[in-house]
Amino acid sequence: MTTAIELEKVRITFGTFTAVHDTNLDIRDGEFFSFLGPSGCGKTTLLRTISGFTEPSAGVVRIGGKDMAGIGPNKRPTALIFQNLALFPMMTVAENVAYGLRVRGVGKSEREQRAMKLLDQVALTPHAHKKISALSGGQKQRVAIARALAVEPKVLLLDEPLSALDLKLRQHMRRELREIQQRVGITFIYITHDQGEALNMSDRIAVMNAGHIEQVGTGREIYSKPQSAFVASFVGESNELPGKVSRISDGMCTVDTPLGALSGRVGGDFRVGDAATLFVRPEQLRLAAPGGDHAFRARVDDLSFEGSMTHLGLDTGLAQDCAATLMTSNHESLPEIGADLGLSFNPLDAIVLKSGAPAA
């Protein structure tokens, strides 16, 4: 697979503030790639740099192998979908879609034809001659996609375009975006702070924090093999048990935590005595049989039953809250609030990482 976008030591600074630190990244042709991170992590800045609205302070951005330095957004083979969509209210739906073609000097009848074809693809044909203000949120969303696709970009950049929609429509649009991407086969770069969106739609995800890319990988890799404390705590829920490394062997290590010695996979470069945090996901925690072996004990201080799943809030005496998620059907009876429980987990499901700043 060829490279669609290549970032080489890209750094972006505004005055004294560094929004993006030296970043290297290859985005492949035809993949659905997401940047996931909290607001202010630099993901939108990076997107604006790819689209050409911001010039990098250092480094090279290549699109399709070509250095993009000095090439404006109107000359790049990218199309951007704005967070607020930025549709043109003084034009009809079809005129919006045809705008990029009009700019390129495509004749009136041809661009109308092509706009109608695109509108057909996003199921908006009956609305072609309506004003933008007459459309619903989801329809506007699809107009924005059609308008961007009309210029036949090599890369479509999407800046949190679903954030303004309600939950149901958002889930629907996720599927639709994914379908459109597979149909047109071009690279989609998607910016989001919503891990559900990123995990759900993307081929690969770059998790960003404070101007750094912390990890690049498939959703599964990022979820089950986080490479930093930030990724482990930002993507999905995790119980964090800080302590000191006391033993390392065969890719496993033991951390002395206030709850006792707990083991997990080694997720970093450690020596005995280093500060480290053991991360274990709530769904990996199991209730130990009464009197049986357990990793640590905790008291149930919250219980919420959600049908197939039951969430337990646990009080371990540590500052951090702990949680466990149980498959309801695996348990004959559920613990009660206030019950003192033994909890265990498979050390292969836990990971030990360098303690980092907690996710914002």
Query: Measured at the alpha carbon of residue 269, what is the angle toward residues 266 and 274, in degrees to the nearest 5?
Result: 90
DSSP annotation string for 324-342 = EEEEGGG-SSPPPTT-EEE
Minimum CB–partner distance for residue 50 and another protein (Å):
11
Q: Which residue has the tokens 């995800």?
A: 205
Q: For another protein, which is the closer residue by CB, 159 or 214?
A: 159
Q: For another protein, which is the closer residue by CB, 78 or 141?
A: 78
Q: For another protein, which is the closer residue by CB, 134 or 337?
A: 134
Minimum CB–partner distance for residue 79 and another protein (Å):
6
Q: For another protein, which is the closer residue by CB, 133 or 329?
A: 133
Minimum CB–partner distance for residue 99 and another protein (Å):
6
Crossing angle for the helix pair 137-150 and 108-121, nearest 10 degrees?
130
**Beta-bridge partners for 354:** 276
Minimum CB–partner distance for residue 151 and another protein (Å):
6
Q: For another protein, which is the closer residue by CB, 77 or 217?
A: 77
State whether residue 282 is helix, strand or coil: helix
Minimum CB–partner distance for residue 306 and another protein (Å):
39
Dihedral sign, Cα of residue 183, residue 184, residue 186, residue 188:
negative
CA atoms within 13 A of residue 272's CA, in its CB half-sphere? 4
Minimum CB–partner distance for residue 166 and another protein (Å):
22
The answer for 287, left when phi > 0, alpha when psi is -120 to 50, beta otherwise, is beta
Minimum CB–partner distance for residue 84 and another protein (Å):
6
Minimum CB–partner distance for residue 82 and another protein (Å):
5
Q: Which residue has the tokens 């669609």?
A: 4
Cβ(254)–Cβ(245) under 8 Å? yes
Strands (E), the chain: 3-14, 17-28, 32-36, 58-63, 66-67, 78-81, 155-159, 187-192, 204-209, 212-217, 239-249, 252-257, 260-266, 275-280, 286-287, 296-306, 309-315, 322-327, 340-344, 351-354
d(CA 131, CA 326): 50
Minimum CB–partner distance for residue 56 and another protein (Å):
18
Q: Which residue has the tokens 């090439």?
A: 71
Q: For another protein, which is the closer residue by CB, 148 or 295?
A: 148
User: Site residues (CB under 8 A) for another protein?
Assistant: 51-53, 72-75, 78-80, 82-84, 86-90, 99-100, 102-104, 147-148, 150-151
Amino acid at 95: E
Q: For another protein, which is the closer residue by CB, 50 or 298?
A: 50
